[in-house]
Amino acid sequence: MVTSFILYNPKQIENKWQKHWESTQIYKAIDFDSKPKYYSLVMFPYPSGDLHMGHMRVYTISDVISRHRRMCGFNVLNPMGFDAFGLPAENAAIERKIPPAEWTQKNIDYMKNQQLKRMGTSYDWSREVISCNSDYYKWTQWLFLQFYKNNLAYQKEAPVNWCTKCQTVLANEQVEDGMCWRHDDTPVERKMMRQWFLKITNYAEELLSDLDKLTGWPERVKLMQKNWIGKSLGAEIDFLIDGKPNIKIPVYTTRPDTAFGITYLVLAPEHNLVEKLSGEQNKSKVQEYIKKTSLLSEIERLAEGKEKTGVPLGSFAINPFNGKKIPIWTSDYVLLEYGTGAVMGVPAHDQRDFEFAKKFKLEIKQVISQDGLERQLTSAYTDPGIMINSDIFNGLSNEDGKKKIIDHAEKNGFGRHKVTYRLRDWLISRQRYWGCPIPIVYCASCGLLPVEENSLPVLLPEGGIEFAGSGGSPLEKCTEWLSINCPQCGQKAKRETDTMDTFICSSYYYLRYADANNDKKIFDKEKVNYWLPVDQYVGGIEHAILHLLYSRFFTKALYDFGLLTFDEPFTNLLSQGMVTMHSPKEGKIAKMSKSKGNVVGTSEFFDEYGADAARLFILFAAPPEQEVEWSTQGAIGQYRFLERIWRLFFNLKENASLRIVEAIHVKVIHELPQQGLPLRDLYRIANYTIKSVSEDISDKKYIFNTAIARMTELVNNMYKFILDKKSYTDIECQVLSFSFTNLIKLLAPFAPHISEELWEKLDGQDSIHRQKWPTYDKESLVTDEIELVIQMGGKKVDVLTTKKGQSQKELENIALNQEKVKAKLEGKELVKVVVIPDKIVNIVVK
RNA sequence: GCCCUUGUGGCGGAAUGGUAGACGCAACGGACUUAAAAUCCGUUGGUUUGAACAAAGCCGUGCCAGUUCGAGUCUGGCCAAGGGCACCA
């Protein structure tokens, strides 16, 4: 009897099952199902139009997790959507005259049907969200209004990145090496503009301290967030102005212990007291300086090694500690947005101040010293030491001094303890068309008004938009759209023309998935609190700060608004490493990307070798957090692995009456006679494979590369077992069937198509993806023999197989009686023998 | 400058403080074939002694120390690569 052998044809099989899964809707998540819920999420993509192998990794990792949890009996939510607002669409409109909405939708269709689905992903597409659709951005606007009502959205004048050619503000992400992203010869300038902000700084402390709750997050991500928030403890000290008793300048410092070394004050050029404190003779010079620095780009202003610049204002402040009169300067090395925008100059103990004082010949006064002696400084002394020249504080260690000085200032009312964060409020205004309109109205008589909730969404006008590529937001020229009747007085009013940063859209999409089609509310409270928080989030490390911090902020704010019962959105986070490949343009290995010319498309590979092989390779080549270098050759290796399984199926089907065997009666296997040992080994290996793969795929480990290696080993062992075998006994058929059945079940999350096809060929019920994850026979892993390693001085001398469970003395005797050991012991003195039972004997000699 | 991560064969990578190099790629050999491809079965860290397919020895996880019976793994210092932050007072 010859079973007709069919060649492994991944393209055909994959297409067949993708269609089948879609029509049977096997990945639909059920609200409030009786099974425990599991929310598996991958960061939704920007629809740039073409995914390559570099993108595939994140979807594969997340999909393996989703499929595995489903087989483990969870009610899995695994949704997908598109982060669809953003600049490339607007750019395409400018360059190719395609409306952004059309361009975006075309890309979404392609990515969804030709790419994401072909990867074999298991999304519940009924919950798809597309952030540029009005049924989604209506809720983005609604959220903005909640922030506004809760005093978390406000406008202020702030320095922004400005491109003179585009005549518009750029987001920080759009500034590349200090130049405009569209004009790489145009340095970005700084400009003061009235902009919308979200008050994320209100949550600075909570965002910082709750990092401790996130035990399922990688340490490095938490550390990056911690550094970004940048909490620092110090003091605020008030300085009075000589001759102007009504004005005081508060200054923030982390080194109050150096207060007696203050020899000048510096204000940021944008500080609102600069003008007021400029003396008559200095006024023109100060104004000139302010103008000059305002024109400097961020890059120029912060350039490393840049010489300090600045001008004296011509007025003086009084050091409240010693009554000394000190000059007030302005310099661009002081930032307006940090602390109070003013700094006390202590050249002896701060390197920046030191450089400034040297350049402008200001006094340098040492007040901390290692040995209590004063000496000539060639650079700032920043190490700990003893306080000198500090009046009543002399002789204290500077650490003690910090506290005593603040206490002293507090007692006398000119200073206090102060906590400062590096985190700034979130600038969300964008002078762009392709974004979510900010629902605000400006009325000449009523002022600034929020759009009423029941008239949301504020629709983006479509058609007839002029994308000139210059002159600010295209919305400013949509005169029809722009004018509106004031919701309060009915008079003519104007809409806000800025749109929101797209990070707003992505700060809550994971909540919307819980109830994506609700047109009455942003989401049903019950549903969102059933599904959330996300059990496993997978995404790129590039979002370690922005997206993940913003999302945590949103969740905390929504919790405070009473919409959520949890205050952290993502319980577990996996930050996958990037996919790299040799870039001919850069002459080295670099992140896979179109601009670097090192892209491998998905379709070409899928057509020839299939998505299953690509998935396996991407998971096999390295652990998920590390980088992976794409290698088509390596991926073909995984294709060969799948072919080996495929051929094994036909071989066993023909010769070993292969069938589905989920478990073998344990007794039968253990009563096998001696000559059945290779079979018992195979049974043991099959069970060991189940154990290893289950552990490696669990949320404690996520090491898919070793899981795949274990499966490869099982296949290799099955081949070894059947080598030269012509016929099989019934028990051999059982063990082979058991091994094969469990192999394809273990393989199912990794290579979903081939495992489904083989499951069908085995007459398996339903889908393999709805089978129970295998369990293993613990007893089979217990052996009565062990490999004993014999070492001398920590170096391996011999390995031998012996009975398990022998005493230390017995093992020591076995070791000492080995020929090799005896030979080596000759002429040496035995010092001691270390025995680790069932493992190792280490003989120490002199 | 500060902070973090990573250094293991020709390559990607495995190794609860206990046999370094699992698994794969590449390379080489054998079987099959008229032949090639594919497939199946093997070999493959370096080095020395040896006529040797025998066999045995030595060295080896970026470098230098340390802890330990025993270190790729733990500690300290250094070097290199990558990443984050960067005039944050």
Cα A769 to Cα A400: distance, rounded to the nearest angstrom:
65
Spatial contact of A187 and A297, defined as CB atoms under 8 Å apart: yes
Task: Kindly state the tokens that stand for A408.
Answer: 């002293």
The predicted pLDDT at position A166 comes to 63
Residue A284: strand, helix, or coil? helix
pLDDT digits (tens, 9 = 90+) for A450-476: 999 999 899 999 877 777 655 567 888
pLDDT digits (tens, 9 = 90+) for A317-338: 999 999 999 999 999 999 888 9
- Among A13, A44, A151, which Cα is nearest to A642's? A13
Cα A660 to Cα A669: distance, rounded to the nearest angstrom:
17
For residue A306, give Cα distances in angstroms to A212, A287, A326, A336, A355: 39, 21, 25, 19, 11
Residue A514: strand, helix, or coil? helix
- Strand B atom within 7 Å of A330 CB: no
β partners of residue A590: A581
- Strand B atom within 7 Å of A333 CB: yes
ω into residue A533 within 30 of 0, thus cis?
yes
- Among A105, A109, A120, which Cα is nearest to A22's? A120
Lowest mean pLDDT of A159-163, A588-592, A646-650, name the range: A159-163
- Cβ atoms within 10 Å, residue A22: 12
Spatial contact of A116 and A59, defined as CB atoms under 8 Å apart: yes
Spatial contact of A683 and A735, defined as CB atoms under 8 Å apart: yes
Cα A672 to Cα A679: distance, rounded to the nearest angstrom:
9
Q: Is the pLDDT of residue A170 over 80?
A: no
β partners of residue A840: A789, A836
Lowest mean pLDDT of A124-133, A208-217, A820-829, name the range: A820-829
- H-helix or E-strand spanning residue A162: strand A153-163
- CA dihedral over A813, A814, A815, A818, signed as positive or negative: positive
Lowest mean pLDDT of A422-436, A633-647, A660-674, name the range: A660-674
Q: Is the pLDDT of residue A173 over 60?
A: no
Cα A768 to Cα A233: distance, rounded to the nearest angstrom:
57
Cα A525 to Cα A590: distance, rounded to the nearest angstrom:
45
Strand residue runs (E) in A83-136: 129-130
pLDDT digits (tens, 9 = 90+) for A282-314: 999 999 999 888 777 666 776 656 789 999 999
The rounded mean pLDDT for chain A is 90
Spatial contact of A439 and A141, defined as CB atoms under 8 Å apart: yes
The predicted pLDDT at position A1 comes to 37
The predicted pLDDT at position A588 comes to 77
pLDDT bin (cut points 50, 70, 90) of residue A139 is very high
Window A253-292, strand B contacts by Cβ < 7 Å: 253-255, 268
Spatial contact of A285 and A311, defined as CB atoms under 8 Å apart: yes
The predicted pLDDT at position A497 comes to 92
Q: Is the pLDDT of residue A177 over 70?
A: no
Cα A249 to Cα A241: distance, rounded to the nearest angstrom:
8
Lowest mean pLDDT of A154-168, A200-214, A398-412, A698-712, name the range: A154-168
Q: Is the pLDDT of residue A677 over 80?
A: no
The predicted pLDDT at position A297 comes to 67
Vertex A351 angle, CA A346 and A354, to 5°: 55
- Among A660, A509, A619, which Cα is nearest to A61's? A619
Q: Is the pLDDT of residue A152 over 80?
A: yes
Torsion of CA A118, A121, A124, A125, to 10 degrees: -30
Task: Kindly state the tokens that stand for A767.
Answer: 């889908």
The residue that minimises its CA distance to C1' of B15 is A706
Q: Rounded mean pLDDT of A675-702?
A: 90
pLDDT digits (tens, 9 = 90+) for A501-532: 999 999 999 999 999 999 999 999 999 999 99
β partners of residue A591: A580
Q: In angstroms, how far is B66 C1' from A845 CA? A: 22
The predicted pLDDT at position A761 comes to 96
pLDDT digits (tens, 9 = 90+) for A466-505: 776 555 678 888 888 888 888 888 889 999 999 999 999 9
Q: In angstroms, how far is B43 C1' from A622 CA? A: 26
Task: Report the half-sphere exposure of A150 (CA within 13 A, side-chain side).
Answer: 19
Burial (CB count <10 Å: 0-12, 13-18, 19+), residue A587: exposed
pLDDT digits (tens, 9 = 90+) for A720-777: 999 878 889 999 999 999 999 999 999 999 999 999 999 999 999 999 999 999 999 9
- How many whole angstroms from its chain centre is CA A696? 22
Helix axes A704-722, A611-620, angle to 10 degrees: 110
Residue A811: strand, helix, or coil? helix
The predicted pLDDT at position A437 comes to 96
* Residue recorded with tokens 């910082």: A208
- Strand B atom within 7 Å of A593 CB: no
Q: Is the pLDDT of residue A584 over 50?
A: yes
Task: Kindly state the tokens that stand for A695.
Answer: 């552990």
Q: Where are the alpha helices (DSSP H) in A656-761?
A: 666-670, 677-697, 704-722, 730-747, 752-761
Q: What is the pTM of this model?
A: 0.93
Cα A393 to Cα A387: distance, rounded to the nearest angstrom:
7
Rg of chain A in Å (alpha carbons): 35
Residue A578 or A715, more confident = A715
The predicted pLDDT at position A574 comes to 94
pLDDT bin (cut points 50, 70, 90) of residue A171 is low
- Strand B atom within 7 Å of A644 CB: yes
Cα A499 to Cα A178: distance, rounded to the nearest angstrom:
23
pLDDT digits (tens, 9 = 90+) for A47-97: 998 899 989 999 999 999 999 999 999 999 999 999 999 888 988 888 888
Strands A264-267 and A325-330: parallel
Cα A417 to Cα A189: distance, rounded to the nearest angstrom:
36
Residue A189 or A840, more confident = A840
Cα A559 to Cα A547: distance, rounded to the nearest angstrom:
18
Lowest mean pLDDT of A511-525, A609-623, A784-798, name the range: A784-798
Cα A406 to Cα A510: distance, rounded to the nearest angstrom:
46
Q: Is the pLDDT of residue A701 over 70?
A: yes
ω into residue A327 within 30 of 0, thus cis?
no
- Strand B atom within 7 Å of A802 CB: no
Long-range CB contacts (within 8 A, 24+) of A366-371: A366/A261, A367/A257, A367/A258, A367/A259, A367/A260, A367/A261, A368/A257, A368/A258, A368/A261, A368/A398
- Strand B atom within 7 Å of A173 CB: no
Window A508-527, strand B contacts by Cβ < 7 Å: none
For residue A533, give Cα distances in angstroms to A70, A79, A128, A555: 18, 14, 18, 10
The predicted pLDDT at position A376 comes to 87
- Strand B atom within 7 Å of A252 CB: yes
The predicted pLDDT at position A832 comes to 87
- Strand B atom within 7 Å of A576 CB: no
pLDDT digits (tens, 9 = 90+) for A618-636: 999 999 999 898 999 999 9
Q: Is the pLDDT of residue A2 over 50?
A: no
Nucleotides in chain B with any atom closer than 7 Å to protein CB: 3-5, 12-16, 18-20, 22-26, 38-42, 57, 69-71, 83-89
Cα A454 to Cα A446: distance, rounded to the nearest angstrom:
20
Strands A830-836 and A483-485: unpaired
Task: State whether ipTM is beyond 0.85.
Answer: yes
